[in-house]
A = this chain, B = another copy of it.
Amino acid sequence: MAEKTIAFVTYPELTLLDLAGPLQVIGTLAALNAGYHVVTVGQTTETHETDTPLAIAPNRTFAQVPKPDIVVVPGGMAGTLRAMTDDTMLNYLRTAATGAELMTSVCTGSLILGAAGLLHGREATTHWSMLGKLAVFGATPVSRRWVEDGPVLTAAGVAAGVDMALYLVARLAGEEAAWQAQFAIEYDPDPPFGTLDWDRAPRARWAPAVDAALREGLADHPELRGRLTSTEA
């Protein structure tokens, strides 16, 4: 049986942990000989920036992986909004979606799936600060750790990608494989101040950062920027 390919998409200024969390978890599938091959894909294999002081380079180009079986799209802020209007990115995702069994995203990566037209009529999620904006793409925003609707699986913000990835490993290779992955990354979470207290979510504090990202990332796309800006989080 031919191995299936899981392709993690990269692009400039993505949020590093959106990519690294699920990549580390799903990367354990390769060691299990479970029939999956994991790659990172970008427009080129040149090194590019992230939203941290670490640059990254994917090991394949879009052209080299035209028919992935599963695609994972990480999110970010201004860089993600730019990716939403990048024709090379959107064409890659649209073409991939015609053959892939599953298109997935982490955090605001779902906005890129939305911009590619892949969320219309589907339930989806994203980072809490952008959740309502999914409606611009015809999606029904759902506040949940991850949301599966047909061939689309979207995770909430950043760290939710790890939870989604464990679910995905179990779906692809069984719960025992997910346990192996969870022990491998010693994911026994113990946040020092507890889990999130949503009553203290810094919504007002985040709004200007979201607006600034929309202005910067969509400077040349005022129509889309206007629609996203006028939609509440």
Total count of chain A residues near the partner, CB < 8 A: 61
Are A189 and B163 in touch, CB under 8 angstroms?
A: yes
Given A163-B189, A163-B190, A163-B191: A179 and B157 interface contact (C-beta under 8 Å) = no
Among the stretches A56-64, A78-86, A224-232, the one at the interface with B is A56-64
Are B54 and A57 in touch, CB under 8 angstroms?
A: yes
Q: In the docked arrangement, what's the CA distance between A57 and B193, Å?
A: 32
Are B19 and A54 in touch, CB under 8 angstroms?
A: yes
Cβ of A16 < 8 Å from any Cβ of B?
yes
Cβ of A166 < 8 Å from any Cβ of B?
yes
Are A192 and B179 in touch, CB under 8 angstroms?
A: no
Which residues of chain A in 192-233 are interfacial with respect to chain B, using CB atoms and an 8 Å cutoff?
A: 192-193, 195-196, 200-202, 205-206
Give every chain B residue within 8 A of A175 (Cβ-Cβ). Answer: 193
A residues with CB within 8 A of B: 8, 10, 15-17, 19-21, 23-24, 27, 38-40, 47, 51-59, 107, 127-128, 145, 156-160, 162-163, 166-167, 170, 175, 178-180, 182-193, 195-196, 200-202, 205-206
19 contacts between A and B (CB under 8 A): A8-B54, A10-B54, A20-B20, A23-B53, A23-B54, A27-B51, A40-B52, A40-B53, A54-B56, A54-B57, A55-B56, A57-B57, A145-B188, A156-B186, A159-B186, A160-B186, A166-B193, A180-B205, A182-B193
